[in-house]
Amino acid sequence: MSVNEGLPGAGGPRQGWNSGKYLWITLAVIAAYLPLALADAAAAGRLRWGAGVVYVLLGAAVVSAGLRTLSAFRSGGHNSRRRGWAFDVVDACLISVGVAATGGVQSEIWLFYFVVVASEALFESRAGVALLVGMAAAGYSVAALVPWRGPADVGVVVVRLAVIALVAHFARQISVLRERQDRETADLREQMASAEERAHIARELHDGLGHALTACILRLQLAARLVEPCPGEARAMVEEETAGLRAAWSECRDLAFHLRPLDVGAAGFVEALRGYLGRFADRTGVVVTLDAAPETPEPPAAVRHAFERVLQEALTNAVRHGKPQAVAVSLGSDGGRLRLSVKDDGAGFDASTAATGVGLASMRERMARLGGTLEVTSAPGMGADVVAVALVER
């Protein structure tokens, strides 16, 4: 049984579709409207080329949209990786040729510049938006003003280009505001996750060390009263509680060990991971192996910190609940995504009933903030496998 959690719409196929759905909706509207537009242009004598040429342009636009959407799917969504200017140049050229084919300045095809400019302005930098508007202006000016029919056409083109520029400006402002809200939301989630972790640590201290130390105090007080009447029994109690205190001290050191962040330094994340797993194996007696692909990229700080916590929580749960003999950790990358797997051969558990635990909830929340996913696969007697995946190209 597995539990797969992630932030809705963050990365993956859904984000890839979100980044291109408006383009496909626009193409559907164009396909429905095109016969009427061609008939009107032909009746008014504005159709410079045959209708077949215009449909070829529509086919080219569909191919371009398909390649754009495929690129978005592969990269986890429009926001995760810039796809270059090839698509923007193709779109601007297709619209310009469509304008020229259907009547120049009298053509309504120029309206579809809004789709390209607005969609790209939501994700592109200010300089990129300016360059895109410049391309649209150049292409539209040539398509609309050739052949020259008088000064009035210049005024029409200038006004329309000004409207396109305003649309790009407001789209960019919307994008900036959205990014600011996303950062504020991410900060709030980080604070909530930190508060949950502190509460989790407090419960661990209270339920584990707190109860053990309280019982030890009570037993030592009883031993103090038995020193004179029953010295042998008092001595046995002191010896038992000495062992209990050693166990409590060991638990305290383990907690501090798991909370300490990895010391990455100049060696890199993989070597820091190897050192941590070696120390973990020495402390617990569990055989731990690390399989890290040679081409694994150095993760960003946010991804590295999230993977640290996922690894520490997974190892702690494995040793505490699963009692494994061996744990296999693997780290690799694929298509701009970094994948961490922690698999043990312990007792396992029912993943569906454990999915609401504080530790797993914290791990899911960390991965969701990165647009990633967390999958926990386990069954009683079958061990457990915790797999975290995060985007490393944003």
What band does 388 get if pLDDT is binned at 50, 70 and 90?
A: very high
Is 104 within a domain?
yes
Is 3 within a domain?
no
CB contact burial 235-264 (16+ within 10 A = b; e otherwise): eebbeebeebeeebeeeeebbeebeeebeb
Is 311 within a domain?
yes
Residue range of the domain that includes 359? 264-394
* pLDDT exceeds cutoff 60 at 14: no
Contact 133, 121 (CB under 8 A): no
Distance CA 345, CA 276 (A): 20
Q: How many CA atoms lie within 13 A of 10 on its CB side?
A: 19
Distance CA 96, CA 144 (A): 8
pLDDT of 17 reads: 56
At 50, list the tokens. 């045959």
| H or E element in which residue 88 lies | helix 86-101
Residue 381 region by backbone torsions, left for phi larger than 0, else alpha for psi between -120 and 50, else beta? left
Residues 144 and 273 in one domain: no
Give the tens place of pLDDT for each residue, 337-364.
889 999 999 888 877 665 555 567 777 8
Total structural domains in the chain?
2
Residues 145 and 268 in one domain: no
Is 99 within a domain?
yes
Give the tens place of pLDDT for each residue, 105-132.
888 888 888 878 887 787 777 888 888 8
End position of a domain, from candidates 97, 126, 149: 149
Is 205 within a domain?
no
Residues 143 and 271 in one domain: no
User: Model pTM greater than 0.85?
Assistant: no
Distance CA 343, CA 330 (A): 9
Smallest CA-to-CA distance from 222 within 237, 239, 242, 212 is with 237
Contact 137, 127 (CB under 8 A): no
Is 192 within a domain?
no
Contact 309, 348 (CB under 8 A): no
Largest interatomic CA distance in the chain: 119
Is 364 within a domain?
yes
What band does 256 get if pLDDT is binned at 50, 70 and 90?
A: low
End position of a domain, from candidates 149, 177, 201: 149
pLDDT of 342 reads: 93
CATH number of domain containing 345: 3.30.565.10
Is 92 within a domain?
yes
Smallest CA-to-CA distance from 48 within 11, 98, 84 is with 98
End position of a domain, from candidates 116, 149, 182: 149
User: 30-38 long-range contacts, Cβ below 8 Å, gap at least 24?
Assistant: 30/58, 30/61, 30/112, 31/58, 34/58, 37/102, 37/108, 37/109, 38/102
* pLDDT exceeds cutoff 60 at 333: yes
Distance CA 112, CA 96 (A): 10
pLDDT of 80 reads: 40
Give the tens place of pLDDT for each residue, 136-169.
899 999 998 988 888 888 999 999 999 999 988 8
